[in-house]
Amino acid sequence: MSDTVSLIEFKPSTRISPISKVFSPGYTVYVYNDSKWSDVYIYSWDNNGELTGTWPGTKMTKTDVNGVEYYKYEFDGSLNGKAINMIFNNNNGSQTAD
């Protein structure tokens, strides 16, 4: 996995989602869990189908960035130049807007 080349900070309570961004290889998406969800999942897709598995997606990994707790998901190089869509959810419970 390559180094993180971008930080997209997403806060579920704001209900603003980074939808249809163009990603380079090796991007890592970070979510700040200000809604205090018990689990944070990422569901993503492009024009060819699902990228992180069927709904509710893939459980994100808890990590620390400069002393702040985030959840992260690392996309691989197969996304080079693709526009993708993302929804974050609480394991099939609360979710961000489509």
Provide the β-strand partners of residue 46. Answer: 49
The pLDDT, as a whole number, for residue 25 is 53
DSSP class of 93: S
pTM of this structure = 0.73
Cβ burial, residue 81 (10 Å; 0-12/13-18/19+): exposed
The two most distant CA atoms of the chain are separated, in Å, by 37
Write out residues in the chain with pLDDT < 50, as ranges. Answer: 1-8, 14-23
Q: What count of residues does the chain have?
A: 98
The pLDDT, as a whole number, for residue 24 is 52
What is the edge-to-edge ordering of all strands in the sheet holding 61-65? 9-10, 28-31, 68-74, 61-65
The pLDDT, as a whole number, for residue 89 is 93
